Chains A and B, each alone.
Chain A
Amino acid sequence: DTAVSQTPKYLVTQMGNDKSIKCEQNLGHDTMYWYKQDSKKFLKIMFSYNNKELIINETVPNRFSPKSPDKAHLNLHINSLELGDSAVYFCASSRISRASGRMETQYFGPGTRLLVL
């Protein structure tokens, strides 16, 4: 069974459209993340949710809105898509250690390749 899954795998759309990317994890983790990988392959964190609560919100345009209906899902909605939004978006999950309160190993989804035309 896939541990962290994302849909769709590929997304090609026109500028100005609104689109969503879904992420689900079946690892029982309590924390989920969205990362953006740009054309230079640099990974940058966008958002992090712990137990459905937003804990990390980097400087990301407010056209990007994460939604966590439950601990196993973290969806990413993007409004008014722009050319510069073209990238690979990775979802990840991890557990926060009860002993130390810190993050344990992150597991990543396969990525969603977004192309805005």
Chain B
Amino acid sequence: KQEVTQIPAALSVPEGENLVLNCSFTDSAIYNLQWFRQDPGKGLTSLLLIQSSQREQTSGRLNASLDKSSGRSTLYIAASQPGDSATYLCAVISLETSGSRLTFGEGTQLTVNP
């Protein structure tokens, strides 16, 4: 059974700092990996989707990497801003005979202080 772990659970940084969020998964037979952002009291917003054949994806100040063999992904946020404060969720889509399944980590709560 796929398990997804995110470290750290919470992170507080000053504005302007570069930071890395970590995600690990137990079963490397994944189809793709997705990073989401959740703002307090709101739904989820998809940030980046990395296919299993890809090593990384970039969108603006965000860069996500994927190392399937070691079961790890990182989300790099450059020049952090207070507006980046949110919970960041990592989710993997696993390959199963019954179809595809999205499994979430518990999230990293990020606070960027002005």
Contact = CB atoms under 8 A, between A and B. Distances in A.
Nearest to B52: A102
A111 interface: yes
Interface string B89-114: 10101010011111110110000000
A105 interface: yes
B34 interface: yes
Contacts of B46: 105-108
A41 B42 contact: no
A27 interface: no
User: Looking at chain B's contact residues, is the secondary structure mostly helix, strand, loop, or mixed?
Assistant: strand
A112 B49 CA distance: 25
Interface in A39-79: 40-45, 48, 50, 55-56
A70 B11 CA distance: 42
Which of under 10, 10 to 19, 20 to 34, or 35 or more describes the interface residues of B?
A: 20 to 34
A107 B91 CA distance: 13
Given A41-B87, A41-B107, A43-B89, A106 B42 contact: no
Nearest to B100: A103
B111 to A, nearest CB: 15
Q: Give the 9 A-B CB pairs with smallest separation, nearest first.
A: A108-B44, A103-B100, A43-B104, A110-B43, A108-B43, A102-B31, A102-B100, A105-B49, A111-B43
Interface of B: 31-32, 34, 36, 38, 41-46, 49, 87, 89, 91, 93, 95, 98-104, 106-107
